[in-house]
Amino acid sequence: MGLMDALFGNGSVPERGAGRGGVYANVTMTVGNTPVVKISEKLAPAGREVYAKCEYFNPLSSVKDRLAVAIIEDAEAKGLLKPGDTVVEATSGNTGIAIAMVCAQRGYKAVIIMAEPFSVERRRLMRMLGAKVIITPKAGKGTGMVRKAEELCAKHGWFLAHQFENEANWKFHEATTGPEILNDFKGKTLTHWVTGYGTGGTYHGAGKAIKAAKPDVKIVLAEPEAAPLLKSGVKTERNPDGSPLDTHPAFTSHPIQGWTPDFIPKVLEDAPPLHDELFMVPGAEAVKTAKALAANEGILTGISGGGTMYTALEVAKLAPEGSVVLAMLPDTGERYLSTPLFAPIEADMNEAELEIAKSTPSFLLIPGEEPVLQAA
């Protein structure tokens, strides 16, 4: 194996220095075509191959960039948006960031509704992109932020993106995410595809494309152990527009931000039966696996990515030898600085770091001591 094969895997991806062969008209054109990366034997079980589709390579670092482009371009094509209009969405953060990006590029205003528990860095990112961010009480859960978004649109005549109900969401994944996976595994084995769900767009659209082309691929859908909405078998009661009427009885709070709101999204419920297995993910394992990906693979993904990869690794352990498992990593770990993912990680130097610092005499910053520049 040559150096380039070792670096780039199979020789079918562009080498460094090749560029992209052209320039983009605007940032929204860079959405999609995210890379698939092999997980090493440090984490993958022997005799099986595990891969990650790294959606944090999208311009605003999450899979929701696809959704935002899909919904806004669909609304433009239908004449539902005109210059200067306001786009509204209820979100755990990534969709809001993506919508704020597209609105900034297109010249729309963005108002994002976000429930209190979600990470504060997401609020700041949306505001940096020019969006107004409205925070709703924790007790209202996901349905509360949806109600607030509906109220604001009814009051002001704004456009509601309806990410949980909008068909443009899953259709974009059917046209992009699914074909990307199929093209990247063209001529190669793929036995399992693993995803969680937030709106259900990735599962519905990419899953449909994968099953149509490779019906033998087993689809594994992951769900938080603390919020087994699909496992319960109880459907979400809906308003006439498809939005949830109330909180699902099986929902309890969980740490996997972006996964499984307190209702079953209509985009997910409308999907044909695509998955071969429903897998329950403990929150602590999702956090642990995200940390393991960072420490062992250099892959910085969020808690949802940790949950998907935990599922993929567990599936691989039980799959026949030679199995090839692909997991979706929805976003970057940088979205989680104020969450349990980073809670044990201190900003200040720990004891091991202080020992390294003190191993040479100059430029020391030791707690409780005067700073040292040049040693005497």
Tens-place pLDDT, residues 55-69: 999 999 999 999 999
Largest CA distance in the chain: 77
Rounded-to-integer distance, Cα 88 and Cα 71, Å: 12
| pLDDT for 202 | 98
Asked whether 122 and 131 are in contact (CB, 8 A), the reply is no
The active-site residue out of 64, 141, 211, 266 is 64
16-38 burial, b for 16+ CB within 10 Å, e for fewer? eeeeeeeeeeeebebbbebebbe
The active-site residue out of 61, 92, 304, 323 is 304
Does pLDDT of 2 surpass 50? no
Round the average pLDDT of the chain to a whole number and report it: 94
Q: Where are the alpha helices (DSSP H) in 9-130?
A: 64-77, 94-106, 120-128
Q: Which residue has the higher pLDDT, 116 or 174?
A: 174
CA distances from 242 to 171, 245, 266, 375 (A): 17, 9, 6, 69
Asked whether 102 and 81 are in contact (CB, 8 A), the reply is no
Asked whether 54 and 35 are in contact (CB, 8 A), the reply is yes
The C-alpha angle 63, 261, 211, rounded to 5 degrees, equals: 50
The residue-averaged pLDDT of 210-227 equals 98
The residue-averaged pLDDT of 2-31 equals 78
151-187 burial, b for 16+ CB within 10 Å, e for fewer? ebbeeeebbbbbbbbbbbbbbbbbbbbbbbbbebbee
Whether 92 sits among the annotated catalytic residues: the reply is no
Taking the chain, what is the end-to-end CA distance rounded to the nearest angstrom? 52
Which band of pLDDT confidence, cut at 50, 70 and 90, is reported for residue 9? low
| pLDDT for 4 | 43
Amino acid 142 reads: G
**Which of 5-9, 121-125, 172-176, 304-308 shows the lowest mean pLDDT across its residues?**
5-9
> Per-residue pLDDT tens for 263-277?
999 999 999 999 999
Most confident of 62-66, 241-245, 252-256: 62-66
The residue-averaged pLDDT of 271-290 equals 98
> Per-residue pLDDT tens for 118-169?
778 999 999 999 999 999 999 988 889 999 999 999 999 999 999 999 999 9
Rounded-to-integer distance, Cα 253 and Cα 256, Å: 9
| pLDDT for 117 | 80
The residue-averaged pLDDT of 306-333 equals 98
Which band of pLDDT confidence, cut at 50, 70 and 90, is reported for residue 14? confident
Does pLDDT of 364 surpass 50? yes
| pLDDT for 92 | 81
User: Which structure tokens are listed for 288?
Assistant: 């642990």
The residue-averaged pLDDT of 199-214 equals 98
Whether 304 sits among the annotated catalytic residues: the reply is yes
Mapped onto helix, strand or coil, the DSSP state of residue 68 is helix
| pLDDT for 1 | 41
Q: Which residue from 126, 367, 95 is spatially nearest to 257, judged by alpha carbons?
A: 95
| pLDDT for 10 | 54
Rounded-to-integer distance, Cα 230 and Cα 234, Å: 7
Which band of pLDDT confidence, cut at 50, 70 and 90, is reported for residue 374? confident
pTM of the predicted protein model: 0.93
